[in-house]
Amino acid sequence: MEKITSYTCNLSPERADRLKSYLLEHGYRFKEAPYTVFFAEGPGVTIAYYTSGKLVVQGRATADFVLYVLEPYVLGEARFGYEEVLNPELLLPRIGIDESGKGDYFGPLCTAGVYVNEQIIRAWRGSGIRDSKNISSDARISELAKMIRKTPGVVYEVVEIGNRAYNRLYERMRSVNKILAWAHARVLENLMEKAEAMQPPPVRAISDQFASSKSVLERAIMHGSRQLELIQRHKAEEDVAVAAASILARDKFISALRKMSEKYSLVFPCGANERVVDVGREFVAKYGAAALRDVAKLHFRTTQKILGTQVEIQGSPINEAEQRPDASANPQDKE
């Protein structure tokens, strides 16, 4: 395993005093250093506490210092850094993939991939990056998405499958999981075309387990992405790379839904609840049933609720011939 030689965290003044007392009692050598409240040296380690409240531990003995001094005597709790010391794989360069819009009747399916490395992961510590489903504010999503995109070293890709293209794909594949696999594979392929910008190169790609077997995704993986270890797991959003991807995907979805609302002068809600049914009926009254293909995912049962029991999803006034794509159709067409 890769040895940890640097550790950073924020420290309150009270805890900083506790740390300083420990260092004094145990013979650490104190020196003057710019922008620090105190700077100390010990066997194989330096400890700098900055005026900003940031603590930086460096040296070959960093892991031991965190495990046997900082955690038990100062923090009194296990933090992310503790897991990082025990599991250096948390800092490995990797790609996280996630999607947004899968459970929303209106709007596109947006899939994002984000490359991270050790420097990026450390820069994001304490930033609030987490699974987008746990962030209720659209404004906060937008703020975090901007920060992610502007972080030095980050490489990202977002693929948007508009409703018309989504419905064509579903007619062809008859499986949401296959559509997700195609979208994830497309994102990976696009990212691998930017391989020179991803330094050091990613060793794996992580996504949520949306199918019972990862073979569904493996079959969709394109040639340029096969060099990566593919990991699918439940609650993958707990990984910072996947969480960042979920934020970019959600930001793209929110933006697309907003543009769609402006185009049709109708506020399209998220989800697939009764409010969605009401808006769907209002939309059909204004624009006709056939226009649903441009704003909705037709295979949802919500379509039947909107159009009424006299029609079926495939037998609705929506022209089936137009729904079935030519084999050469480009599924990335967003219109």
Say if CB 46 and CB 40 are below 8 A apart.
yes
Torsion-angle region of 154 (φ positive above 0: left; ψ -120 to 50: alpha; else: beta): beta
DSSP state of 211: S
Threshold 0.75, pTM exceeds:
no
Task: Return d(Cα 283, Cα 121) in angstroms, integer.
Answer: 44
Instruction: List the chain residues with pLDDT less than 70.
Output: 1-3, 77-88, 211-214, 216, 220-226, 309-335
State what percent of residues in the chain have pLDDT above 90.
63
DSSP state of 289: G
Complete domains list, the chain, with CATH = 6-90 (3.30.310.10), 92-258 (3.30.420.10), 263-318 (no CATH)
State what percent of residues in the chain have pLDDT above 70.
83
Paired with 232 in beta bridges are 207
Supply the Cα-derived Rg of the chain in whole angstroms.
25
pLDDT digits 0-9 by tens, 59-107:
988 888 888 888 888 887 655 455 555 566 778 899 999 999 999 999 9
DSSP state of 273: S
Task: Return d(Cα 39, Cα 48) in angstroms, integer.
Answer: 4
Say if CB 107 and CB 257 are below 8 A apart.
yes
Task: Return d(Cα 217, Cα 230) in angstroms, integer.
Answer: 9
